[in-house]
Amino acid sequence: MNVDTTYLIIKSLMVLTIFGITLLIATYLTYFERKVAAFLQDRLGPDRAGPFGILQPLADAGKMFFKEDFIPQNSAKSLFILGPGIAMFTALLTGSIIPWGPQITLFGETFDFQIADINVGILFIMGVVSIGVYGIMIGGWASNNKYSLFGAIRASSQMISYELAMGLSIIAIVMMSGSLSLKDIVAQQHGMNWNVFYQPLGFIIFLVSALAECNRAPFDLAECESELIGGYHTEYSSMKLGFFLFAEYINMFISCAIISSLYFGGYNYPFMDMITDPTVQGLIGTAVLFGKIFFFIFLFMWIRWTLPRFRYDQLMHLGWKMLIPLALANMLVTGAVILFNQ
Amino acid sequence: MKPLTNRAKQVVNKEMTFSEKIYLPAVLGGLKTTMSHFFKKQATVRYPEEVRPFSDVFRGKHVLKRDENGAERCTACGLCAVACPAEAITMVAAEREKGEEKLYREEKYAETYEINMLRCIFCGMCEEACPKEAIFLTTEITPANYDRSNFIYGKDKLVEDVNHRTDITTRQAHKNLAK
């Protein structure tokens, strides 16, 4: 077996592993969300399917599969099917460039625990995430339903507004690290040298934008049940609806991974140099990264079950008149500090 | 105008202060509130495993009692049917034959005794009207059914089992207290 074959096999395994882990985590996020919601509201949450209700997501998935797959008569059929597909595809795609752990040595070969180290990693994420809104837009538009269309329009305008603030807050990080590659950015935050200590404002802007990008409460205007009956996925049923909902949870997982990587040091943790064995160090790093991700997922849910939904004009006001100027100022200050330190 | 309660607040259209404008203090306050609920005791009663006890005076499904020898107490006097505001009770009286002394306590008994559970409002008037301590309301719930005809409970469902007596001491105590 030559080196290239080993490389290919390991990369393929990694793709499958991360694909599987992403799906598994997204599945259980639905359960987790319901449990967190219940506990925050003095309830128990799902506890019937299996011990503590841990089989609930499987039951939900089974239900989704057996539901009637309904396509409205006057909808654009191909686009109607394409919508959830795009949403799911783009959601899964972003996981490929997140460094899940430091380098590990297997079969005498050194591998990054990362599917692809693209030198424009962050730009890739921003690009894919903005394609993600096409799934919502196409799905909502193809449904031939006013509520869906409203949801789609809201989703797209919200994404565009908040992507700006998000991009601007990332620029400050890129200026500090001098690289667009996520691998480099994470590697530079070795130990406790996390970006959040240098970019607290940037972090808050990024967090708020990430909530908006994921269509999470308090920015879930694209699907607000009380106004739009479910927004862009009003007309969807069966596994197509499942794909939309699922894509949302994958997006949340990936966003939390990106927040952890950009601002909270990814797989880095304090006193990591005290562990001499690089494999052990790497494995602990991966565990630490997942710990951080789960903390942020919990934060997302916590925020969702705490805050009421923003009104549409408030959303736009917050995005354009507050976050973007703040992000610009943050960028300017970062630039000035870097310049004076040279 | 005089406010109804002293909780009324005057609405002011004032400018928001800086800390209000950036939302964050209020958001953190909200997060703190919800987190305090995270560790509170859940209000849920896990129903089939955990049953919240009924009140002593709960009025559920009826029971037709037997006396200490196992003979039916009901004499088909019809007072319960008269007392019933929903007209849910019907009965046909019959005379006790020789050799049936073990089955029926007095010379007259109810050949059929039916309560329409869809009409019954579980007011307990039948229980109060009964001079023979024969009918009582228990803490049992009348279960749901797919067919309306199954809601007419005859003697097969109402008369208590000789071997499995229904305990109605709490109801009796209540009744005696009222006297």
User: CA torsion sign, B160 to B166 to B169 to B175?
Assistant: negative
* Beta carbons of A40 and B38 less than 8 Å apart: yes
* Beta carbons of B30 and A41 less than 8 Å apart: no
Q: Residue B116 sits in which domain range?
A: 62-178
Does residue B54 lie within any of the structural domains? no
pLDDT of residue A108: 63
* Beta carbons of A44 and B44 less than 8 Å apart: yes
* Beta carbons of B34 and A42 less than 8 Å apart: no
Tokens of residue B100, six digits: 């049936």
- The shortest CB-CB distance from B30 to any of A38, A306, A322 is to A306
- The shortest CB-CB distance from A306 to any of B34, B42, B44 is to B34
**Helix, strand, coil percentages in chain A from 3-state DSSP, rounded to 5:** 70, 5, 25
Residue B11, min C-alpha distance to chain A (Å)? 20
Mean pLDDT of chain A: 84
Question: How large a percentage of chain B has pLDDT more than 90?
Answer: 21
Chain pair A-B, CB pairs under 8 angstroms: 37
- The shortest CB-CB distance from A40 to any of B22, B24, B37 is to B37
Q: Please report how the helices A3-40 and B24-38 are oriented relative to each other, as an axis angle in degrees rounded to 10.
A: 80
Q: Is the ipTM of this complex over 0.85?
A: no
Q: Please report how the helices A200-213 and A238-263 are oriented relative to each other, as an axis angle in degrees rounded to 10.
A: 170
Chain A residue closest in CA terms to B41: A42
Question: How large a percentage of chain A has pLDDT more than 90?
Answer: 2
Q: Which residues of A touch B (CB under 8 A)?
A: 38-44, 47, 204, 302-303, 305-307, 322
Beta bridge partners of B152: B116
* Beta carbons of B31 and A302 less than 8 Å apart: yes
Beta bridge partners of A80: none
**Which residue of B23, B28, B39 is the best one to mutate when testing the A interface, meaning the one whose CB has the most A CBs within 10 A?**
B23
Higher pLDDT, A115 or A204: A204
A155 neighbors A133 (Cβ within 8 angstroms)? yes
Those residues whose C-beta lies under 8 Å from the C-beta of residue A215, and which sit 6 or more positions away, are A136, A155, A158, A221, A222, A223, A248
Residue A41, min C-alpha distance to chain B (Å)? 7
B41 neighbors B112 (Cβ within 8 angstroms)? no
Q: How far apart are CA A296 and CA A214, in angstroms?
A: 13
* Beta carbons of B24 and A204 less than 8 Å apart: yes
The CATH number linked to B149 is 3.30.70.3270
Contacts of B24 in chain A (CB under 8 A): 204
Q: What is the pTM of this model?
A: 0.78
Least confident range from A7-11, A35-39, A294-298, B47-51: namely A7-11
- The shortest CB-CB distance from A307 to any of B27, B35, B44 is to B27
Which positions 26-45 of B are in contact with A (Cβ < 8 Å)?
Answer: 27, 30-31, 33-35, 37-38, 40-44
Contacts of B31 in chain A (CB under 8 A): 302-303, 306
DSSP for A33-78 reads HHHHHHHHTT-----SSSGGGTTHHHHHHHHHHHS-----TTS-HH
pLDDT of residue A64: 87
Contacts of A43 in chain B (CB under 8 A): 42-44
Does residue B150 lie within any of the structural domains? yes
Does residue B131 lie within any of the structural domains? yes
Contacts of A300 in chain B (CB under 8 A): none
Rounded to a whole number of angstroms, the CA Rg of chain B reads 28
Least confident range from A75-89, A220-234, A259-273: namely A220-234
Please state the φ and ψ torsions of residue A307, each to the nearest 5 degrees: -95, 145
Q: How far apart are CA B58 and CA B139, in angstroms?
A: 6
Query: Distance between the two ends of chain A, CA-based, in angstroms?
Result: 49
Residue A175, pLDDT above cutoff 80: yes
Domain range annotation of chain A:
3-341
Distance of CA B120 to CAs A265, B89, B90, B171, Å? Answer: 69, 8, 12, 19
Does residue B50 lie within any of the structural domains? no
Residue B174, pLDDT above cutoff 60: no
Does residue B19 lie within any of the structural domains? no
**Which residue of A40, A298, A310 is the best one to mutate when testing the B interface, meaning the one whose CB has the most B CBs within 10 A?**
A40
pLDDT digits (tens, 9 = 90+) for B90-144: 999 999 888 888 888 888 999 999 999 999 999 989 988 988 888 988 888 888 8
Residue B49, min C-alpha distance to chain A (Å)? 11
Q: What is the DSSP letter of A310?
A: P
Please tell me the total count of domains within chain B: 1
Those residues whose C-beta lies under 8 Å from the C-beta of residue B175, and which sit 6 or more positions away, are B127, B128
Q: How far apart are CA B55 and CA A117, in angstroms?
A: 68
pLDDT digits (tens, 9 = 90+) for A90-137: 888 888 888 887 777 666 666 677 777 778 878 888 888 888 888 888
Let me know how long chain A is: 342
DSSP for B128-166 reads HH-TTS-EEE-S------S-GGGGEE-HHHHBPPSSSPP
Which positions 45-74 of B are in contact with A (Cβ < 8 Å)?
Answer: 46
Which SS3 state, helix, strand or coil, does residue A316 take?
Answer: helix
Q: How far apart are CA B175 and CA B128, in angstroms?
A: 8
Residue B12, min C-alpha distance to chain A (Å)? 20
Please state the φ and ψ torsions of residue A217, each to the nearest 5 degrees: -60, 145
The residue-averaged pLDDT of A207-236 equals 80
Q: How far apart are CA B121 and CA B137, in angstroms?
A: 12
